[in-house]
Amino acid sequence: MSRILVIRLSALGDIAISVPILQALGEQYPDNLFIMLSKPFVSPLFEELPPNVIFKAVEITGKHKGIFGLLRLFREIGNNVDMVCDLHDSLRSHFLCAFFKIHHIPIFRIDKGRKERRRLTRRENKIIAPIKSSFERYKDVFTAADIPIKHFNEHPDLAPSSEHLKEVEIAFFKKENRWIGIAPFARHEGKIYPLDKMEKVIAHFAYNNDFTIFLFGGGKEEFAKIEEWKKQFPSLQISYSLGLKMEVKLMSCLDIMLSMDSANMHLASLARTPVVSVWGATHPYMGFYGLFQDKNRIIQTDLSCRPCSVFGEKPCYRFDYACMCNIDPERIIMKLEKELGL
């Protein structure tokens, strides 16, 4: 039996992409042990994988903080590892891998395609062409480690789940109409659709008894906005008290999800839910598009300045965020209705 340590410490969306890959590897290599190393709060995502896929929590703000903390982490797991697959390629993962390398444990590391991404985001002479996706880059790591994924269904049916519906109905109520999830937030402003425009999208469906809207969000400011919308549209349902595992189960029961280029796009994809995604400063060509998703569900504006950022963190150098502001709410409404067959 080979014992393979898999490292992906953040971000949530990138971790979500690794879940179906670990599932496929666990099923196709039952004699190997795969140890997924990541933050504790994502452990529910890996609970229902094959028994030869186990989760190891890294406490990067606690006992595993800093170089000495990473040395402690190595001492906890080093003797139980035959090779390392680093899906993160961060400073922290490099320090950790150095301890394994000293002990002659082979390291296989992701190529993030940083040069290609710089060519996509530079102001002049952009090369607007799709580059390899994160999913393909993950697969390349395991191929290099001589444990390639032999088969993988990249085009499964995306539809509301019956498996988790009963449990979700207990948490909320019986599903008697179309359920739409809306995740209007993202970490950076360049990836957020203007909230006044999003409010018009929400209003269109919230005032129609044929639909139930579930809002997804995380931070304190997001909670405040969601509560404000809840007062304005009492029929809205809020998901943030459910916990990550139950949130994904809820997503699996949705008829469709509306999301930014954010972790919720990837979580909904993991739940096999169709996602209409809205893109601004970033671009699907960057390789971060939701796994399993149809690219016809993308909403974006063609501007010569796009994409200007890999992660959406750079301020708009036009100062107007036209990439998002130029998208009419009616366009999003029409796309959702089309995907729902209306």
* Cα gap 243→141, rounded to integer Å: 31
Q: What is the pLDDT of residue 274?
A: 98
Among 109-123, 190-204, 214-228, which stretch is predicted with the lowest mean pLDDT? 214-228
User: Do residues 190 and 121 lie in contact, with contact meaning Cβ atoms separated by under 8 Å?
Assistant: no
Q: What is the pLDDT of residue 91?
A: 97
Q: What is the 3-state secondary structure (H, E, C) of the chain?
A: CCEEEEECCCCHHHHHHHHHHHHHHHHHCCCCEEEEEECHHHHHHHCCCCCCEEEEECCCCCCCCHHHHHHHHHHHHHHHCCEEEECCCCHHHHHHHHHHHHCCCCEEECCCCHHHHHHHHCCCCCCCCCCCCHHHHHHHHHHHCCCCCCCCCCCCCCCCCCCCHHHHHHHCCCCCCEEEEEECCCCCHHHCCCHHHHHHHHHHHHCCCCEEEEECCCCHHHHHHHHHHHHHCCCCEECCCCCHHHHHHHHHHCCEEEEECCHHHHHHHHCCCCEEEECCCCCHHHCCCCCCCCHHHEECCCCCCCCCCCCCCCCCCCCCCHHHHCCCHHHHHHHHHHHCCC
Looking at residues 159-181, what average pLDDT do you find? 96
Angle at CA of residue 73, ends 68 and 78, nearest 5°: 120
Instruction: At 19, list the tokens.
Output: 């879940």
* Cα gap 14→16, rounded to integer Å: 5
Amino acid at 188: H
Looking at residues 22-38, what average pLDDT do you find? 98
Domains by residue range for the chain, with CATH: 3-144 (3.40.50.2000), 165-339 (3.40.50.2000)
Instruction: At 267, list the tokens.
Output: 């979580």
Among 162-166, 214-218, 299-303, 312-316, which stretch is predicted with the lowest mean pLDDT? 214-218
Q: What is the pLDDT of residue 137?
A: 98
* Cα gap 289→314, rounded to integer Å: 19
Q: What is the pLDDT of residue 242?
A: 87
Provide the percentage of residues in the chain whose pLDDT is more than 90. 95
Other C-beta atoms closer than 10 Å to the C-beta of 229 total 21
Listed residue (229, 160, 217, 161) closest to 192, CA to CA: 217
Q: What is the mean pLDDT of the chain?
A: 96
Task: Give the pLDDT band of residue 241 (cuts 50, 70, 90).
Answer: confident
Q: What is the pLDDT of residue 194?
A: 98
pLDDT digits (tens, 9 = 90+) for 244-273: 999 999 999 999 999 999 999 999 999 999
pTM of the model: 0.96
Distances, alpha carbon 175 to alpha carbons 107, 167, 211, in Å: 48, 11, 10
pLDDT digits (tens, 9 = 90+) for 230-239: 999 999 999 8
pLDDT at 22 over 90: yes
Listed residue (7, 22, 103) closest to 60, CA to CA: 7
Helical packing angle, 91-102 and 66-77, nearest 10°: 50
Question: End-to-end distance of the chain based on CA atoms, in angstroms?
Answer: 52
Which residue is listed with tokens 């940083």? 114
* Cα gap 339→256, rounded to integer Å: 8
* Cα gap 172→164, rounded to integer Å: 12
